[in-house]
């Protein structure tokens, strides 16, 4: 959790700050994605709001539960990681379809970093027999 904590804090706070800045119109168009002012792309961007806020909610909840030494922190963390992966994958798929994918985009980070931790959670649950009881 020592390393995962920093990934959660960075990602969860970044999502909250990003949507706050977007809502307030603080992001200059030259820093944004292509067609930033297109109403269809504005709607597409805001379609990520629910999943990204769930990422933040579950990630910050996992940190809180970990601090309180509750074993349920692992469930919240796993949900956050899977949602983060899905959010990144959805955005990458969109930009790939448009043939505008940029490997330096933050969505690649959202797609890749959870895989390292999901694998660890998967191994720990399969070794403890939890998956066999489902």
pTM over the 0.85 mark = yes
Give percent of the chain with pLDDT exceeding 90: 69
Given a contact cutoff of 8 angstroms between Cβ atoms, the answer to whether 118 and 78 are in contact is: yes
Q: Extract the tokens encoding 96.
A: 């790939």
Give the phi and the psi of residue 27 in degrees, each rounded to 5. -90, 115
Answer yes or no: is pLDDT of 129 > 80.
Answer: no
What is the per-residue pLDDT across 30-61, written as a single tens digit (0 to 9) for each?
A: 788 778 888 999 999 999 999 999 999 999 99
Interval 69-94: pLDDT, tens:
999 999 999 999 999 999 999 999 99
Contact 53, 15 (CB under 8 A): yes
């Amino acid at each position: 959790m020592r390393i995962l904590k920093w990934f959660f804090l960075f990602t969860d706070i970044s999502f909250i700050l990003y949507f706050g800045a977007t809502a307030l119109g603080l992001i200059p168009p030259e820093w944004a994605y292509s067609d930033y002012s297109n109403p269809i792309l504005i709607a597409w961007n805001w379609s990520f709001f629910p999943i990204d806020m769930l990422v933040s909610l579950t990630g910050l909840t996992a940190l809180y539960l970990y601090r309180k030494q509750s074993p349920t922190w692992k469930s919240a963390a796993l949900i956050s990681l899977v949602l983060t992966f899905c959010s990144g994958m959805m955005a990458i798929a969109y930009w790939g379809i448009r043939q505008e994918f940029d490997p330096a985009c933050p969505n690649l980070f959202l797609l890749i970093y959870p895989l390292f931790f999901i694998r660890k959670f998967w191994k720990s649950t399969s070794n403890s027999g939890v998956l066999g009881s489902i």
